[in-house]
């Protein structure tokens, strides 16, 4: 169970969620503690640059889609780190709003 497990469960049920993630890996796009709203998303609608709530190698992230190859998505933060490649079933929702 990770930090985002409760939100992932709600997204899987079709609910929109809001939470305040902590950390600095997305600085410049999301500051630590800002209110983030994430909605369920059809993976076919995702694009490079979208911020998604996802799971990569067992870790939960609210990170960027850096590249798309067919049905695979490369996930990374806003500081140059790449987390890895995942399939669409590792993506639970897309960030739609950031507030203070």
- Give the tens place of pLDDT for each residue, 15-35: 999 999 999 999 999 999 999
Q: What are phi and psi of 9, to 5 degrees?
A: -60, -45
Kindly state which CATH superfamily the domain 5-99 is placed in. Umud Fragment, subunit A (2.10.109.10)
Q: List all residues 6 or more positions away from 77 whose beta carbon is below 8 Å from its beta carbon.
A: 25, 26, 61, 63, 64, 83
For position 1, what pLDDT does the model report? 81
Query: The dihedral of CA 33, 53, 45, 13: what is its sign?
Result: negative
Answer whether 86's CB lies under 8 Å from 76's CB: no
- Give the tens place of pLDDT for each residue, 31-67: 999 999 999 999 999 999 999 999 999 999 999 999 9
pTM: 0.97
């Amino acid at each position: 169970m990770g930090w985002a497990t409760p939100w992932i469960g709600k997204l899987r049920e079709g609910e929109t969620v809001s939470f305040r993630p902590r950390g600095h890996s997305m600085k410049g796009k999301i500051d630590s503690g800002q209110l983030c709203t994430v909605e369920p998303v059809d993976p076919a609608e995702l694009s490079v640059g979208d911020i998604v709530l996802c799971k990569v190698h067992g870790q939960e992230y609210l990170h960027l889609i850096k590249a798309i190859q067919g049905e695979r998505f490369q996930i990374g933060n806003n500081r140059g780190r790449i987390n890895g490649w995942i399939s669409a079933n590792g993506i639970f929702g897309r960030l739609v709003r950031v507030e203070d």
